[in-house]
Amino acid sequence: MSIKFGFYLFPQLTQLDFAGPFEVFSHVPGGEVHLVAKTLEPVAADTGLKLTPTTTFEDCPQLDVLCVPGGPYVDYLFDDQPTLEFLRRQAAGARYVTSVCTGSLILGAAGLLKGYKATTHWTSVDMLADFGAIPCTDRVVIDRDRATGGGVTAGIDFALTLTAELVGERVAKMIQLATEYNPAPPFESGHPSVAEEEIVGAVSMLMSERLERRRAQAAKHRELA
Q: Per residue in 53-69, pLDDT tens?
A: 999 999 999 999 999 99
Residue 101 is a catalytic residue: yes
Average pLDDT over the chain reads: 97
User: What is the tens place of the pLDDT at every residue in 108-160?
Assistant: 999 999 999 999 999 999 999 999 999 999 999 999 999 999 999 999 999 99
pLDDT at residue 225 is higher than 80: no
**∠10-90-101 over CA atoms, to 5°?**
45
* Cross-sheet strand order for the sheet of 146-149: 55-56, 31-37, 3-8, 65-68, 96-100, 146-149, 140-143
Provide the residue ranges of all domains of the chain, joining segments of one domain with +.
Answer: 3-224
Give me the catalytic one of 60, 67, 101, 136. Answer: 101
Give the pLDDT band of residue 28 (cuts 50, 70, 90): very high
How far apart CA 87 and CA 68 sit, in angstroms, is 9
Confidence band of 192 (pLDDT split at 50, 70, 90): very high
**Class of domain 3-224 as given by CATH:** alpha beta
Q: Whole-model pTM?
A: 0.97
Contact assessment for residue 97 and residue 107, using Cβ atoms and an 8 Å cutoff: yes
Task: Indicate whether 96 pLDDT > 80.
Answer: yes
DSSP-assigned letters across all residues of 57-72: TTTPPPPSEEEE---T
